[in-house]
Chains A and B, each alone.
Chain A
């Protein structure tokens, strides 16, 4: 799933490991989410949403266009 995670952490000058520490996941997990190789669970998506104070749909894009 496409997402804004890389941009959001860049705005805070965080490395993947820094973000992983905030979310209590590994650096690999952050990398896998950023590159779209792994979709986070709903609890983790909410955690990310709260961390960046943004709605989930502004961070993650499921490319649903209403059709």
Chain B
């Protein structure tokens, strides 16, 4: 009796567990869409820089290829989200709230990233290619203030709510571990890069690259520790 019940339970748990893989696919697909959109923006900017005009057959085929990639990735997101919704009964109240906050932040971040990428190509004068989102060209003060307000005021409020209401102690521990790894990577990596630059062995340290590495290491360790 116990064995049968336990087997049924494990099956249900495994269904919920496979949502982790689906969520990873959604994240990867979302990043893929952002990167492909950036590639489209970059391609069109390069076309404009070369004189513009109507696109040739190769250009149209290239854009069709990009569009097919975006449609495919969007379909992958839709499929995985549908499956995750179907198995949502495996989530606790905290997990549902947690997921809503993470999704909301992801969508807001994606929207801001896309806006900046298209702003850089259509209004700005950046020539940084695929790294448009992290360009350092000037932007209108109003946009800069809105983004700074979002980053410095809204995000801490969301983070506070997330820590207090949405995550549990296991995820808090995973998040702290991510912070340790990222902090040590920063404490070791940033001075090393700076010293190597002074010695003529490396290009000048790039603050945005250091920030992105710091955030990437933190996120990767956090997710690894949470879902391993």
Contact = CB atoms under 8 A, between A and B. Distances in A.
A6 B10 CA distance: 10
Contacts, number: 74
Is chain B's binding surface mostly helix, strand, loop or mixed?
helix
Interface string A8-19: 011101111100
A26 B170 contact: yes
B214 to A, nearest CB: 24
Contacts of A32: 170
Contacts of B91: 17, 26-27
A28 B20 CA distance: 10
B173 interface: yes
B9 A14 contact: yes
Interface in A1-49: 6, 9-11, 13-17, 20-21, 24-29, 31-33, 37-38, 40-41, 44
Given A10-B9, A15-B12, A24 B168 contact: yes
Contacts of B2: 10-11
Interface residues on B, range: 20 to 34
B16 A38 contact: no
Given A10-B2, A27-B90, A28-B226, A38 B9 contact: no
Is chain A's binding surface mostly helix, strand, loop or mixed?
helix
A2 B197 CA distance: 49
A11 B9 CA distance: 11
B95 A37 contact: no
Contacts of A17: 12-13, 16, 89-92
Contacts of A21: 92-93
A14 B12 CA distance: 10
Tell me which of A16, A21, A31 has the highest count of chain B C-beta atoms within 10 A of its own C-beta: A16
9 contacts: A9-B9, A15-B9, A24-B92, A24-B168, A28-B170, A28-B171, A28-B227, A29-B170, A37-B228
Given A13-B9, A20-B92, A21-B93, 10 more contacts: A6-B6, A10-B2, A11-B2, A16-B9, A25-B94, A26-B167, A26-B170, A26-B171, A27-B13, A29-B170
Interface of B: 2, 5-6, 9, 12-13, 16-17, 89-95, 98, 167-171, 173, 226-228
